[in-house]
């Protein structure tokens, strides 16, 4: 273990391997994973990771396993594209009803495969809506130019020198000496403006997936920079209070004539097609949105209702935070929402994009589709998962588990303020941030911290010494993520807190031999 210190550029796999985290689990049930030790004996591990939030219902939920087994035994179809997908439509209805119940809004649902694909679909829908607006504006500009010509022909108006001069100033154009030159200059400007590519905005420390579109909006530089760098179409909101002013710079201008009195006017259209946000950021280190971002979302809603506000609830949604829809619980506007992880009940790969009914484009379902989307098997499992979520009041369960876990972790922080920087999050989506120990008196601890390996080492120790599985956030490696299922038993909760207590006592005593031995 000590040999890993000094190797700053270990890849993810090597890091996990060296920290003793690359265990092959052979069985999973509820909040537990099992592996075989070197003597072939089955060892139990309390799992607070799952698929970084995908096991809200626990591993291999018995009702879902039974359902899946029955579907297979009955030879239910899985893939039948171009036919009536009854299971998929029931799921869409159930998810739309869930959203309506908890947000008061009506959404149209599209089913997809993974979290990142739901985000891609959201970006595509926002870009499509933008393109449609530009198309409509282009028609409006053409109609406006025709109206000018008709009025000229009828002699209702005339183009005089002051108008030409006003147009020159507005367009910052060289002298326009004739109506045809004026019309052609306006037309050219408008065509250019309306062909401008849209922008998408995202928040710092948010994670949206690793396919190219969502990666461009993902903060994590290790994940992004090798593929997407200096992308002019992606904006990160660094200064929320300045963002609306910044939007003016990121706008295009189209020019139209007004007739009473006759003059050329400029209309600015924001290039921003959408802004995506994680209501509670997971991969970035369990970070809540600060008030400034919430104010920005409200201001965008008010001043730019055409900009699609996308709540990425892939990780925090469907009750994990202790609230059925995290964005709605925070009173944040959400034109679109994305869901994945918990939707498949921890067994199936399935995701969903929800678009407010008044904003959805009917043809979008054809424009974004996939061989594997809407398959009967995952639709059935997701439908049943939604039923279980509601029947078992999973959000409330998460809320009370979260309170108990937070209370225990906060007590630990009070006991070890020099080791624990923060404890945060809500429901079953919590994080424990280690202090920056890069100046610690123990050289080994200091170098582990400097190399951002301390979180990994702590996770390895918890796994092997205490049978507890947590992992650091890859976006912020000093944060241990804690994401149990909604069914974590009181004894398990105590085991988890006891393991954390023991870890921090070991660290406080500077007992690094014990930390690294496994
Ligand atoms: N959006 C959010 C908020 C996510 O947390 C993730 C994945 C995705 C999108 C992408 O989903 O993996 O199904 O394509 N988050 C994991 C994490 C990987 O570490 O939090 P995917």
- What pLDDT sits at residue 287? 98
CA angle 422, 423, 428 (to 5 degrees): 155
Q: Who contacts 195 (Cβ-Cβ below 8 Å, separation ≥6)?
A: 134
Q: Average pLDDT for residues 343-368, to the nearest whole number?
A: 96
- What pLDDT sits at residue 193? 97
Distance 196 CA to ligand 1 centre (A): 30
Q: Is the pLDDT of residue 3 over 80?
A: no
Q: What is the pLDDT of residues 112-149, one digit of tens each?
A: 999 999 999 999 999 999 999 999 999 999 999 999 99
Element containing residue 47 per DSSP (H, E): strand 42-47
Q: Is the pLDDT of residue 257 over 60?
A: yes
- What pLDDT sits at residue 13? 62
- What pLDDT sits at residue 5? 43
52 Cβ inside 6 Å of ligand 1: yes
Q: Is the pLDDT of residue 350 over 50?
A: yes
Q: What is the pLDDT of residues 394-431, one digit of tens each?
A: 999 999 999 999 999 999 999 999 999 999 999 999 99
Distance 341 CA to ligand 1 centre (A): 8
**Region of poorest pLDDT, from 30-34, 239-243, 407-411, 438-442:** 438-442
Q: What is the pLDDT of residues 170-202, one digit of tens each?
A: 999 999 989 999 999 999 999 999 999 999 999
**Spatial separation of the C-alpha atoms in residues 510 and 518, rounded to whole Å:** 17
Pocket test for ligand 1, best of 205, 279, 282 (most atoms within 8 A of CB): 282
Q: Is the pLDDT of residue 102 over 70?
A: yes
315 Cβ inside 6 Å of ligand 1: yes
* Residue 258, CB-side half-sphere exposure with 13 Å CA sphere: 8
317 Cβ inside 6 Å of ligand 1: no
User: Is the sign of the CA dihedral 119, 125, 127, 130 positive or negative?
Assistant: negative
119 Cβ inside 6 Å of ligand 1: yes
Distance 470 CA to ligand 1 centre (A): 17
**Spatial separation of the C-alpha atoms in residues 487 and 33, rounded to whole Å:** 15
The more confident residue out of 1 and 398 is 398
Q: End-to-end CA distance of the chain, in Å? A: 9
Distance 436 CA to ligand 1 centre (A): 26
318 Cβ inside 6 Å of ligand 1: no
116 Cβ inside 6 Å of ligand 1: yes
The more confident residue out of 2 and 28 is 28
Place 9 in a pLDDT band, splitting at 50, 70 and 90.
very low
Q: What own/partner pairs with CB < 8 Å and gap ≥ 24 does 220-224 have?
A: 220/283, 220/284, 220/474, 220/475, 222/474, 223/474
pLDDT over 90 percentage in the chain: 91
Distance 199 CA to ligand 1 centre (A): 22
Residue 338 is given by DSSP the state E
Q: Is the pLDDT of residue 7 over 50?
A: no
pLDDT over 70 percentage in the chain: 97
Q: Is the pLDDT of residue 8 over 50?
A: no
- What pLDDT sits at residue 6? 41
Q: Which atom of ligand 1 is found nearest the CA of 281?
A: 3
Q: What is the pLDDT of residues 473-493, one digit of tens each?
A: 989 999 999 999 999 999 999
Per DSSP, helices labelled H in 104-234 are 115-153, 161-171, 179-194, 212-216, 221-224
Among 391, 221, 201, 149, CA closest to 312: 201
- What pLDDT sits at residue 126? 98
Q: What is the pLDDT of residues 45-56, one digit of tens each?
A: 999 999 999 999
Q: Is the pLDDT of residue 273 over 60?
A: yes
The more confident residue out of 21 and 132 is 132
Place 325 in a pLDDT band, splitting at 50, 70 and 90.
very high
Residue closest via CA to ligand 1's atom 17 equals: 283
342 Cβ inside 6 Å of ligand 1: no
Peptide bond into 261 cis (omega under 30): yes
Q: Which atom of ligand 1 is found nearest the CA of 316?
A: 3
Q: Is the pLDDT of residue 259 over 60?
A: yes
Pocket test for ligand 1, best of 53, 207, 339 (most atoms within 8 A of CB): 207
- What pLDDT sits at residue 11? 57
Among 300, 280, 299, CA closest to 290: 280
Q: What is the pLDDT of residues 83-98, one digit of tens each?
A: 999 999 999 999 999 9
Average pLDDT, the chain: 94
213 Cβ inside 6 Å of ligand 1: no
- Kind of pairing between the strands at 262-270 and 251-259: antiparallel
Distance 388 CA to ligand 1 centre (A): 23
pTM flag (> 0.90):
yes
- What pLDDT sits at residue 516? 80
Q: Is the pLDDT of residue 314 over 90?
A: yes
Q: Is the pLDDT of residue 345 over 70?
A: yes
Q: Which atom of ligand 1 is found nearest the CA of 53?
A: 20
- What pLDDT sits at residue 219? 96
Residue closest via CA to ligand 1's atom 12 equals: 115
312 Cβ inside 6 Å of ligand 1: yes
Residue 338: beta bridge partners? Answer: 312, 353
Q: Which atom of ligand 1 is found nearest the CA of 114?
A: 13
**Spatial separation of the C-alpha atoms in residues 149 and 147, rounded to whole Å:** 5
Distance 283 CA to ligand 1 centre (A): 8
Token digits for 210? 């690793």
Beta strands in 211-278 (DSSP E): 234-236, 251-259, 262-270, 272-277
Q: How much helix, strand and coil, in percent to the nearest 5, is found in the chain?
A: 45, 20, 35
**Spatial separation of the C-alpha atoms in residues 420 and 437, rounded to whole Å:** 10
């Amino acid at each position: 273990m000590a040999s890993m210190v000094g190797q700053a550029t270990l890849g993810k796999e090597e890091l996990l391997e060296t920290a003793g985290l690359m265990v092959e689990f052979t069985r999973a049930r509820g909040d537990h994973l099992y592996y075989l030790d070197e003597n072939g004996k089955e060892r139990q591990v309390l799992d607070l990771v799952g698929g970084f939030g995908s096991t809200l219902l626990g591993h291999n939920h018995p009702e879902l396993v039974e359902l899946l087994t029955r579907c297979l035994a009955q030879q239910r179809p899985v893939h039948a594209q171009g036919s009536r997908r009854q299971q998929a439509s029931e799921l869409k209805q159930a998810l739309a009803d869930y959203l309506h119940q908890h947000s008061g809004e009506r959404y149209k649902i599209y089913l997809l495969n993974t979290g990142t694909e739901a985000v891609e679909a959201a970006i595509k829908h926002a870009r499509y809506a933008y393109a449609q607006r530009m198309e409509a504006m282009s028609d409006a500009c053409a109609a406006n130019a025709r109206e000018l010509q008709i009025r000229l022909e009828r002699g209702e108006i005339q183009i005089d020198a002051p108008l030409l001069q006003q147009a020159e100033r507005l367009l910052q154009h060289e002298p326009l000496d004739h109506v045809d030159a004026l019309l052609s200059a306006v037309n050219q400007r408008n065509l250019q403006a309306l062909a401008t590519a849209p922008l998408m905005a995202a928040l710092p420390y948010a994670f949206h997936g690793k396919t190219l579109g969502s990666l461009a909006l993902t903060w994590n530089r290790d994940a992004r920079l090798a593929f997407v760098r200096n992308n002019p179409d992606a904006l990160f909101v660094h200064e929320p209070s300045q963002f609306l002013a910044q939007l003016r710079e990121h706008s295009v201008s189209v020019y139209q004539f007004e007739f009473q009195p006759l003059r050329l006017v400029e209309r600015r259209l924001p290039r921003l097609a959408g802004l995506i946000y994680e209501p509670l950021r997971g991969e970035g280190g369990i970070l809540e949105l600060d008030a400034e971002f919430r104010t920005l979302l409200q201001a965008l809603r008010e001043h730019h209702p055409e900009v699609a506000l996308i709540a990425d609830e892939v990780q925090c949604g469907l009750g994990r935070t202790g609230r059925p829809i995290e964005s709605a619980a925070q009173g944040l506007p959400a034109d679109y929402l994305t869901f994945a992880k918990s939707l498949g009940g921890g067994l199936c790969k399935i995701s969903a994009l929800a678009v407010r009914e008044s904003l959805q484009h009917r043809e979008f379902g054809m424009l974004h589709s996939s061989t594997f989307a809407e398959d009967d098997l995952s639709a059935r499992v997701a439908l049943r998962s939604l039923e279980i979520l509601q029947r078992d009041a999973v959000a409330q369960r998460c809320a009370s588990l979260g309170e108990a876990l937070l209370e225990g972790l906060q007590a630990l922080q009070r006991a070890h303020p020099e080791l624990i920087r923060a404890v945060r999050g809500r429901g079953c989506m919590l994080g424990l941030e280690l202090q920056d120990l890069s100046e610690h008196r123990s050289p080994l601890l200091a170098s582990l911290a400097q190399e951002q390996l301390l979180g990994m080492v702590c996770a390895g120790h918890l796994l092997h010494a205490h049978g507890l599985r947590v992992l650091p956030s890859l976006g912020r490696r000093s944060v241990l993520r804690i994401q149990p299922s909604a069914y974590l038993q009181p004894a398990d909760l105590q085991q988890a807190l006891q393991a954390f207590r023991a870890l921090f006592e070991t660290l406080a005593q500077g007992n690094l031999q014990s930390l690294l031995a496994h």
